[in-house]
A and B are shown apart, each in its own frame.
Chain A
Amino acid sequence: MLKGILEGIVLEIISRGEIYGYEITKKLHALGFQGIAEATVYALLLRLEKNKLVHITKKPSDMGPPRKFYTLNERGFEELAAFWAKWDFLSERIHLLRTNGGEKNV
């Protein structure tokens, strides 16, 4: 489940505008997700690309190889919308469980 949540967070970050790999990690750290390993984000970006959820633009970098910049494509936006729908459902149920023990009409 956590894997899916991280994917949703990264999709949301990408949806805000063109961004490159390590910049996403920095955003995550700034959000307070310091515990996320570097390898996790790198692997996640490869998966998003493989699953064709992102559009990629390559730009020259001072490090040598061209740098990839990610934006969400149509499928990516659909996946993000599905993630938020799942999230809303989950958070509503958890809230219900926490406040009323799972009963809707108390």
Chain B
Amino acid sequence: MFSHEMKEKIKQFAKEQAPYYLEEAEMTYMEKVRRKTGETKSKLMAKLAKFKSRSETAMEAENDMILYMSDYMKDLMEQGLSEQEAFEQAKKELKFRSETTKSADLQERIVAHYHHMDIADYEAVGLFYGAFVFLGISIGALIGFIGSGGWEMFLSGGWIRTLIGAIIGFLIGTGLGLLSNAVIVLKRKK
């Protein structure tokens, strides 16, 4: 029915697309089981991973798609489309579009992140930022003030050095705050 080249194209398309559909079907199934058992997705996935033969399931889904696509293309060709036109049309129709799997996964990761994130971590990060910024501004402004020549010079244009010192201090403080944030994140990962 189809040329050898077209058969290869169909096979390639099915190989690319079938896993997305399979993943979505598995996700829907997992959601149902999870709702019944109240277990988290990761726990169920770990359990199921031991029993299922992924490659065999994937191969079956791929074969299903090859047949489905071929049937559809045959239908289109009977309506007058060329082999290539039918392939393009079938590709367009059968390309996986749903974002359900990805968005569900993302949502799950966000929930897990906030579930495991300790409020004390947020507090510590905020306090580090605040403390470093205050210290930076104070030290920078003081160095600028003393370096410019004290009170008298401050009034006659020396304030600019105090201001520059404060700005540099603010930047250093923010930098140190970022560093402390990174340290906290790395510690949490361990």
Contacts and interface: CB of A to CB of B under 8 A. Distances in A.
Contacts of A62: 1
Contact of B21 (A20, A43, A66): A43
Contacts of B61: 46
Q: How large is the interface on B (under 10, 10 to 19, 20 to 34, 35 or more residues)?
A: 20 to 34
B122 interface: no
A62 B67 CA distance: 10
Nearest to A38: B93
Which one of A26, A51, A63 has the greatest number of beta carbons of chain B within 10 Å? A63
B29 A47 contact: yes
Contacts of A21: 64, 67-68, 71
Contact of B72 (A25, A67, A68): A25
A38 B1 contact: no
A45 B61 CA distance: 10
B64 A45 contact: yes
Contact of B68 (A37, A38, A66): A38
Interface stretch (B94-102, B111-119, B180-188): B94-102
A64 interface: yes
B94 A22 contact: no
Which one of A21, A43, A46 has the greatest number of beta carbons of chain B within 10 Å? A46
A105 interface: no
Given A37-B93, A39-B94, A39-B97, A46 B70 contact: no
Contacts of A66: 63
Contacts of B7: 64
A34 to B, nearest CB: 12
Interface string A22-49: 1001100000000001110011011101
A4 interface: no
A39 B68 CA distance: 10
Interface of B: 1, 7, 21-22, 24-26, 28-29, 32, 61, 63-68, 70-72, 75, 90, 93-98
Interface of A: 20-22, 25-26, 37-39, 42-43, 45-47, 49-51, 61-68
Q: Which 8 A-B pairs have the closest CB atoms?
A: A22-B71, A65-B63, A46-B25, A38-B93, A50-B25, A50-B29, A63-B70, A47-B25
